[in-house]
Amino acid sequence: MSIKKLLLVLALLLVGVTVVAAQQEVSIVHYYSSDLGSATMAKLFDGFTAANPDMKVVDNSAGHEDFKTQILVTIAGNNPPDLFSYWAGARTQFIVEADRLMPLTDFWSDNDLDSIIPAGVKPASIYNGDVYNIPMNVHIVGFFYNPKVMAAAGVTSMPTTWDEFLAACEAIKASGVAPIALGSMNRWPAQYWLDYTVSRTAGPEFRQQLMAGEVAYNSPEVATALEAWKQLVDAGYFVADANAYDWTDAADQVANGEAAMTLMGTWITGYWDGNGLKPIDDYDFFPFPAINPDVPMVVHGSVDGWAVPASAANPDGAKALIMHMLSPDAQATWAVGQGALAAVSNVDPSIYSPVMKKAADYLGSVAFLSGYDLSTTPPMADAGLNMFAQFMNDPSGYMAYLDEVEVVAVDVFKK
Amino acid sequence: MTNTTERRTPSYRMAIFFYAFMTVLVLLYSLPSIGVLLASLKSTAEISEVGVWTLPRSFDLTNYSEAWNGGSAGLYIRNSFFVTLPATILSISLGVLAGYTLCKLPFRGSNALFVFFVAGLFFPPQIALIPLFRLFNDLGLYDTLWALILIHVAFGIPICTLIMKNFFSAVPTAIREAGIIDGANEWQILTKLMLPLSLPALAVLATLQFTWIWNDFLWPVILIRSNEMRTVMVGLASMKGQYSVAYGVQSAMAVYASIPTLLVFVFFQRYFIRGLTFGSVKG
C-alpha cells in the first residue's frame, strides 16, 4: 500500500472516529428498576435524545437496596456515572462531606430553578450552603383512609386537631374496626409516627435539631411526643402486632375494611391503583392533624433527586438531561408513572387524581421535611428504627428506650 | 443377640412416628418454595386480597411470560450461565491440581502453602470491594462477565483445594506407586487413576460451587452496571421498585432462577452426601 493510500485510510478513520465522538454519552444510574419505573424513565430519555440528537443516554438501573452499595463503591472507585438518582437528606449529605459531588448552585441560579421548584422543597437541595441535589419528585406522608369505613363509623369530616383525631379513632373503634393500620415489619413505616409526633408537639425546629444530634433523645420534648403516640397504642387504636406486617399488608387492611387508615407516603396510591382501587371512592387522604396549635405545620416525606459526581466525565450532558427531566411534560409523565408528586410547580394539575391533588395542595401550603431515615445519619437511623419497632411491641418502656438511643446518639454525633 | 433380634423386627410404632416426623419436616422445609409457587400463579391484586396461602383462582401463567419477556429472565439466566459454568470448572480444576500436589507430592513448605490457600476461606469478601472494583476498573474489566468469572475462580480455590486435598489423602498412596511402576507419569496418574476415584468429591464441589456462584449477589451488584450484563439474582432483586411490589412476577423469576441449581443437585445428588462426609472428616 502506498503512503498516499495509507494516509487516506487514516484520514477516513479519523473522520469516522470524530463522527462517533460527536455523539456524546450521558451515563446515568438510577434506582427506578421496576417494570413501570424503568419504562417511564426510558420514555423521558427518548424525549431527551429526540431533542438532542448528538446525545446518547446510557441508562442503567439497580434495585434500590442494591443501589445504595453499588453507587458508593463506584464513586469511591472513581468510575461514577455522569448523574445518578439519590435521596435528598442525610444520604446526600454523606457524599457531600466526602467531597465527591459537584456543586450545582450556579446551575440552579442560571436556570432560575427558584421559579419552578417550590420554596418548601428547596432546602432539601442544599448542603453546606450549596446545591447538590436537584429534586425529581416528591412523596409526602399523611393519612390514607377508607372512606366507607369512616362513613360507617360516622366520621364525616376528617380531623384537623388532636382532639378531633382521638374522637374519630374512638368512633371507629366503637364501630368494630381497628382505626389505624401499621406494617412496621421493615421498621421504616413506623418512623413517620415519630416524625409527626415530634414536629407537631415540639415543632419543626426542634425536630431538625434532634436529627442533627443537637438535642437529646431522652429530652422531655421527645418524651411528650412519644406520650402522644403511646396514648394511641394504649387505647387499642392500632391493629395488633404491627411488627408482623409489611406496609403493603397495612395498605391491604385499609383497602379490605379491616382498618380505617394508615400513615403512609403517597406511593401507597400507586399500589392501590395497581390493585384496581378508585381514588375518592375507595381511598382518600388527610394530613396529620395539629397537636400543639402553636407550632408551625410541616409535611414529612421524601424527595428523590439527581446528583452529579465530582468526577463525572460529561457534567454538561448530565445538566442538560436534568433540565429536560424538569420540563413540565417530562415531570407530568414521571409523576403519573410513579404515583408521585412532581418536583416542579408548573405541571398541569389535572394530571393528578383528586386524592393526589389534595396531597399536592398540602405540599404547596406548608414546609417540607424529609422523613426520619433520610434526615439523620444511617447509624443513628438504624438505632432509631429499632426503637420504633420496640415501641410498637411494648410502648410502656419508652423512657428506657429513649435513654438507650441517646447512648447511640452521643456516640454517633460525638457529643 | 437380643439386640440383633430387636433390630430385625423394628418397632412398627417407631416407624410410623419416624415417617410422620419426617413428613412434617418436609412440609416445613418446602413451605417457602410452595409459597413462591403459589404467588407466581397470582396477580398482585389477588395476593393483596387473599394473601399467598390460598390456591390461585385460575391457572394463570401471565407472571411467567412477563418475567421472561418484560423481565428479560432469559438474558439474565444466560449471563448467569456464562459466569457460573467457566468459574465452576476453572476453580475445581485448579483445586484438583493444588490439592493433588499438596497431598501426594509434598515439598518443603507445602503445609504452610496449604494454610495459605485455606486462609482464603476466612477472608470476608466485603473488605476487598473497593480495591477489587478499582482493579477491574483499571484492567478494563468493569461491567463485564470476565470480572465475575475471575472473582469466583479466586474465591473458589480455597474450598476446592481443601476438599480435594482431604479427599486425595483418603486415596491410598499405593495406587500412585503402582501407577509409577507401570510407567505412568504424574499427569496420567492424576487423570487416569485419581480423578475417576474422586467422582464423589468432584460432584460435591460442582454442586457447591455452581450453587454459590449462581446465587451470588454481591459481586454482580458491585461489578456490573449495565442491564445487559446482569445475572439472574440481581435481575430478580431489581424487579421490585422503591415503593412498588411485584410479588407475582418476582416469584415467577425466582422459579426460573432456581431450576438450574435444582437440576444440578438432582443430577449429582447420589454422590453428594457421600462426598460431603469424605471431605469433612478426613484431615
Domain membership of residue B272 (yes or no) is yes
For position A285, what pLDDT does the model report? 98
Residues of chain A with C-beta less than 8 angstroms from the C-beta of B49: 252, 256, 275
Residues B126 and B202 grouped into a single domain: yes
Domain membership of residue B195 (yes or no) is yes
Backbone dihedral angles phi then psi of residue A143, each to the nearest 5 degrees: -85, 125
* pLDDT at residue A19 greater than cutoff 90: no
Residues B26 and B100 grouped into a single domain: no
Residues of chain B with C-beta less than 8 angstroms from the C-beta of A68: none
Q: Name the residue among B217, B225, B243 with its Cβ closest to that of A267.
A: B243
Q: How many CB pairs under 8 A join A and B?
A: 100
> How confident is the model over B16-23, as a mean pLDDT?
93
CB contact (8 A) between residue B249 and residue A35? yes
CA distance B265 to B274: 14
Residues B83 and B205 grouped into a single domain: yes
**Environment class of residue B118 by beta-carbon count within 10 Å: exposed (0-12), middle (13-18) or buried (19+)?**
middle
Query: How does residue B1 score in pLDDT terms, banded at 50, 70 and 90?
Result: very low
**pLDDT, tens only, A379-414:** 899 999 999 999 999 999 999 999 999 999 999 998
CB contact (8 A) between residue B221 and residue A66? yes
Indicate the range of A13-22, B54-63, B97-106, B164-173 predicted with least confidence.
A13-22
Q: Are A194 and A188 in contact (CB under 8 A)?
A: no
Tally of domains within chain B: 2
> What cell was used for A244?
408482623
Residues B142 and B58 grouped into a single domain: no
CB contact (8 A) between residue B234 and residue A69? no
- State whether residue B57 sits within 8 Å of chain A by CB: no
* pLDDT at residue B165 greater than cutoff 60: yes
CA distance B281 to B283: 6
The Cα-based distances of B188 to A216, A227, B32, B175, B183 in angstroms read 74, 79, 47, 12, 10
CB contact (8 A) between residue A63 and residue B239? yes
**pLDDT, tens only, B113-147:** 999 999 988 888 888 888 999 999 999 999 999 99
Among residues A90, A180, A184, the alpha carbon closest in space to that of A386 is found at A184
**Environment class of residue A364 by beta-carbon count within 10 Å: exposed (0-12), middle (13-18) or buried (19+)?**
middle
- Angle (deg, nearest 10), helices A90-97 and A64-76: 10
Q: Name the residue among B45, B70, B130 with its Cβ closest to that of A35.
A: B70
Name residue A138's beta-bridge partners: A303, A341
Backbone dihedral angles phi then psi of residue A161, each to the nearest 5 degrees: -120, 165
Which of A33, A58, A185, A303 is the best mutation test for B, with the most CBs of B within 10 A?
Answer: A33
- Residue in B with minimal Cα distance to A248: B48
> What cell was used for A48?
431527551
Query: How does residue A308 score in pLDDT terms, banded at 50, 70 and 90?
Result: very high
Residues B116 and B252 grouped into a single domain: yes
Which of B244, B249, B250 is the best mutation test for A, with the most CBs of A within 10 A?
Answer: B244
- State whether residue B62 sits within 8 Å of chain A by CB: no
Q: Are B250 and B240 in contact (CB under 8 A)?
A: yes
Residues of chain B with C-beta less than 8 angstroms from the C-beta of A256: 49
Give the torsion through C-alpha atoms of A195, A200, A205, A207, to 10 deg: -30
Q: Name the residue among A59, A79, A81 with its Cβ closest to that of B137.
A: A79
Residues B119 and B39 grouped into a single domain: no
- Delimit the CATH 3.40.190.10 region(s) of chain A: 22-138+302-364, 140-300+372-412
**pLDDT, tens only, A159-196:** 999 999 999 999 999 999 999 999 999 899 999 999 99
- State whether residue B6 sits within 8 Å of chain A by CB: no
For position B275, what pLDDT does the model report? 61
- State whether residue B226 sits within 8 Å of chain A by CB: yes
- State whether residue B78 sits within 8 Å of chain A by CB: no
CA distance A222 to A201: 9
CA distance A385 to A373: 8
CB contact (8 A) between residue A70 and residue B246? no
**pLDDT, tens only, A248-292:** 999 999 999 999 999 999 999 989 998 899 999 999 999 999 999
What dotted CATH number matches A140-300+372-412?
3.40.190.10
For position B281, what pLDDT does the model report? 43
Element (H, E) at A190: none
> What cell was used for B129?
470491594
For position B86, what pLDDT does the model report? 97
ipTM > 0.85 (yes/no)? no
- Residue in B with minimal Cα distance to A62: B238
* pLDDT at residue A309 greater than cutoff 50: yes
Residues B92 and B115 grouped into a single domain: yes
Domain membership of residue B69 (yes or no) is no
Residues B125 and B167 grouped into a single domain: yes
Residues B160 and B39 grouped into a single domain: no
Mark which residues 251-280 of A lie under 8 Å from B by CB: 251-252, 255-256, 265, 267-268, 270-271, 274-276
- State whether residue B237 sits within 8 Å of chain A by CB: yes
CA distance A374 to A390: 20
Q: Are A389 and A191 in contact (CB under 8 A)?
A: no
* pLDDT at residue B277 greater than cutoff 70: no
**% of chain B exceeding 90 in pLDDT:** 58
Residues B47 and B164 grouped into a single domain: no
The pTM (predicted TM-score) of the whole model is 0.81
**pLDDT, tens only, A127-169:** 999 999 999 999 999 999 999 999 999 999 999 999 999 999 9
**% of chain A exceeding 90 in pLDDT:** 82
Where does a domain end: B30, B62, B94? Answer: B62
**Selected residue with higher pLDDT from A16 and B93:** B93
Q: Are A291 and A302 in contact (CB under 8 A)?
A: no
CATH level 2 (architecture), domain A22-138+302-364? 3-Layer(aba) Sandwich (3.40)
CB contact (8 A) between residue A265 and residue B45? no
For residue A365, how many C-alpha atoms fall within 13 Å in the half-sphere facing its CB? 8
- Residue in A with minimal Cα distance to B229: A60
Residues B137 and B221 grouped into a single domain: yes
For position B7, what pLDDT does the model report? 53
Task: Write out the residue range of the structural domain in which residue B58 sits.
Answer: 2-62
The Cα-based distances of B133 to A29, A63, A313, B122, B238 in angstroms read 17, 19, 18, 20, 21
For position A278, what pLDDT does the model report? 95
- State whether residue A62 sits within 8 Å of chain B by CB: yes
CATH of the domain at B247: 1.10.3720.10
* pLDDT at residue B278 greater than cutoff 70: no
Average pLDDT of the residues of chain B? 88
Residues B198 and B111 grouped into a single domain: yes
3-state secondary structure of A181: strand
- State whether residue A74 sits within 8 Å of chain B by CB: yes
